[in-house]
Amino acid sequence: MPEGDTVYRSAQNLHRALAGGRLTRCDVRVPAFATVDLTGETVHEVLSRGKHLLMRVGEASIHSHLKMEGSWHVYRPGSAWRRPAFQARIVLETAEWVAVGFELGLLEVVPISAEAGLLDYLGPDLLGPDWHAEEAVRRVESRPDRPVAVALADQGNLAGLGNEYVTELCFLRGLLPTRPVGEVTDVPGLVALARRLILANRDRTDRITTGNGRRGMQSWVFGRAGQPCRRCGSTIQRGLLGRSDLELRVTAWCPRCQT
């Protein structure tokens, strides 16, 4: 499941392959931007902002979001793609590399000057160079009646966390996902743990929150509904959390370890 660390790694891989190169092909397969052709322009940089990926090419910014199914791949010219061509939303080539964005949940091409307007709603980026813990805490605490899991997943509070991290953070802190933020005694500690977890996984292919990298042992409760808790043996519960379609998300918890 793409979260901030996945997007960070994608941006790093794309930057290493494309930065400084000149596009020899630009094929945007999204109707609203199908006429955009950046062939001949230089790729300046690729970076992530929370779960958003920005590729700056010439005076334009290619803005994408993976959502649930999206991914960026990098290939050598002539190599077979690992996903079917009909899933490709954009194909970018330089003399040495081919970058393909598959099933991107969002893809748009805007002037670089418009980036700030698109992303100014985001909170501090957990993996960004300008991470600001105090501001993230302030935003989380600004709505004390909100369930803690919903507050952590809100990209306007802190950018980069998805269901997996939020679910695991609540377990590690012994918090039911439904507990109101106002009843959490140490929000700064919770936010600090969020940053430590995502930093620890930033350069890993497999996300690990337990400290155990063996297959099937990487998470405490996420994806383990109906299985015994690794700490107390209670059956892990699963449910939907949120009061609107925008907030609704799947969560899991241990009924004994989390209160």
CB-based contacts of 135, cutoff 8 Å, min separation 6 = 123, 124
- Active-site choice (31, 41, 45, 51): 51
Annotated active-site residue 3? The verdict is yes
- Active-site choice (2, 124, 147, 177): 2
Q: Are 148 and 197 in contact (CB under 8 A)?
A: no
- Active-site choice (3, 93, 164, 168): 3
Annotated active-site residue 108? The verdict is no
Annotated active-site residue 141? The verdict is no
239 strand-pairing partners: 251
Q: Beta strand pairing status for 98-102 and 43-49?
A: unpaired
- Report the C-alpha gap between 253 and 259 in whole angstroms: 10
- Report the C-alpha gap between 54 and 65 in whole angstroms: 9
Max CA pair span of the chain = 60
Indicate the DSSP class of residue 5: H
Tokens at 170, concatenated: 């609540």
Tokens at 37, concatenated: 């052709």
What is each CA distance from 44 to 17, 23, 26, 55, in whole angstroms?
Answer: 11, 11, 15, 8
Q: Are 87 and 63 in contact (CB under 8 A)?
A: no
Q: Are 234 and 255 in contact (CB under 8 A)?
A: yes
- Report the C-alpha gap between 243 and 150 in whole angstroms: 10
Q: Where are the alpha helices (DSSP H) in 203-245?
A: none
Q: Give catalytic residues, as residue numbers.
A: 2-3, 51
